[in-house]
Amino acid sequence: MDREILKSGLIEYGYELSENEEDSFETFSRLLVEWNEKMNLTAVTEAKEISIKHFLDSIVPVFSFDIKENSKIIDVGTGAGFPGVPIKIIRPDLDFTFLDSLNKRINFLKEVSSNLNFEKSEFVHMRAEDAGKDKKFRGKYDYAVSRAVAPLKVLSEYCIPLLKIGGTFAAFKAFDIEEELNDAKSMIGNLGGKIKDIKEVKIPHSDIVRKIVLIEKIKETQKEFPRKANKIK
């Protein structure tokens, strides 16, 4: 990673990186590049790009809305740990679940966690639609985050069932999302959710404008949701 890009970018967010946090990002970056040589984790491997497209982008939720201390949060379809690991480095108080359908990614994240001495973290190899039906995960979280590439209508069905009533789903989106929002609104309502806000943040050192769609869960999700993956898609 590029330390100066990361540090100056975080200063633009109003946050000064500690030496320990900086070292954690460096370690994560090193492990990401090393493991990426033997398994496909990311197409972004250049130092500057890692700092911008993975780290500064992933931590946008921390600076765009209030995430209460010691909350339970789940990263759905975390992949190589985005946005969850960068958020966890900045907010170690959060009780994090990293959920992914590929076990090799979960094994990578366990290695990251071990190197970064993460506490209050669990790593779950499971499909999101199965987690949404499982009593251990359904309705248990204050926040769900997802940077997965999928339409909001699909992501909402994966994420909203995991939230407590009053919980918030933060979906990472970009560009013009008006059509996607309109397409998702009725399903969000069916799932017990309501679009609360859309935060727009320019990612430092780039021309990327990140949009975070905030969806509040206002009532219980009906038992039929989430459906099987083929139905959702």
Per-residue confidence (pLDDT) for residue 149, from 0 to 100: 82
Per-residue confidence (pLDDT) for residue 124, from 0 to 100: 98
Q: Which residue stretches of the chain have pLDDT < 70?
A: none
Per-residue confidence (pLDDT) for residue 76, from 0 to 100: 98
pLDDT in tens, 179-194: 999 999 999 999 999 9
Per-residue confidence (pLDDT) for residue 176, from 0 to 100: 85
Per-residue confidence (pLDDT) for residue 233, from 0 to 100: 76
pLDDT in tens, 137-167: 999 999 999 998 899 999 999 999 999 999 9
Per-residue confidence (pLDDT) for residue 108, from 0 to 100: 98
DSSP state letter for 207: S
Per-residue confidence (pLDDT) for residue 148, from 0 to 100: 86
What is the CB-side half-sphere exposure of residue 144 using CA atoms within 13 A? Answer: 32
Length of the chain, please? Answer: 233
Nearest Cα to Cα of residue 163 among 120, 110, 214, 106: 214
Per-residue confidence (pLDDT) for residue 232, from 0 to 100: 82
pTM above 0.95, yes or no: yes
Give the distance from CA 204 to its chain's centroid: 19
